[in-house]
Chains A and B, each alone.
Chain A
Amino acid sequence: DSGVTQTPKHLITATGQRVTLRCSPRSGDLSVYWYQQSLDQGLQFLIQYYNGEERAKGNILERFSAQQFPDLHSELNLSSLELGDSALYFCASSVAPVGDSPLHFGNGTRLTVT
């Protein structure tokens, strides 16, 4: 158990809809990262928050947004969903904001857009 909690485990929705994925980081971790994993693209970095502030953006679409709340949990909002958004979405957390700390991944949310 990594200590990172993601909900829901599975999500099935239709094109054009909007969904919210939730993540609670490991106790004590201030950094939260969102990654998208699809079969042909591997693990793609979407966005990072550190102690409530956006820290870095990766290949995140404008239809996607995220935030980190004062209790450090984070939400990833995906809107105007398309078939190609179907993927596994992982949240990870780390102690420090810099790229030399191990990432601890949650179990992921599998999103299926039909």
Chain B
Amino acid sequence: GQQVMQIPQYQHVQEGEDFTTYCNSSTTLSNIQWYKQRPGGHPVFLIQLVKSGEVKKQKRLTFQFGEAKKNSSLHITATQTTDVGTYFCAEPSGGGADGLTFGKGTHLIIQP
């Protein structure tokens, strides 16, 4: 089945540096969602992007949806230790199935 490709798998940054994770799909998406999972926690919904070229901001987090609605990115400015965790993008499963298909996630590791 379809699966959105997410890169990088791991990202080590120094605290204060920026961080970006990317998702790519082979198909045009109706929408894309982003989740964050803290170590030992459960995935928590961050945002949903629906429109072509859409950009949404949440404080230091910037989410973008590509013009062709086949890719998306999450950028964090000036990372803090509280940003540690795994960031997942997720696309509608499609093919008659509801729910979401998740990318494998990007593990963000921050060195103080």
Contacts and interface: CB of A to CB of B under 8 A. Distances in A.
B42 A42 contact: no
Interface residues on A, range: 20 to 34
B47 to A, nearest CB: 9
Interface string A71-114: 00000000000000000001010100111101111111000000
Interface string B27-56: 000110101000001111100101000000
Nearest to B50: A100
Interface stretch (A10-18, A48-56, A62-70): A48-56
B97 A58 contact: yes
A105 B100 CA distance: 12
A35 B91 CA distance: 15
A100 B31 contact: yes
B73 interface: no
Given A42-B104, A43-B88, A45-B93, A104 B45 contact: yes
Contact of A55 (B48, B91, B98): B98
A106 B37 CA distance: 12
B89 to A, nearest CB: 11
Given A42-B88, A55-B97, 16 more contacts: A42-B103, A45-B99, A45-B100, A45-B101, A55-B98, A58-B1, A94-B99, A98-B92, A99-B98, A99-B99, A100-B92, A102-B48, A103-B100, A105-B42, A107-B41, A107-B42
Interface of B: 1, 30-31, 33, 35, 41-45, 48, 50, 88, 90-94, 96-105
18 contacts: A2-B42, A31-B98, A42-B102, A43-B102, A45-B93, A45-B97, A45-B101, A50-B98, A90-B42, A98-B92, A99-B97, A100-B30, A100-B31, A100-B92, A102-B33, A103-B90, A105-B43, A108-B42
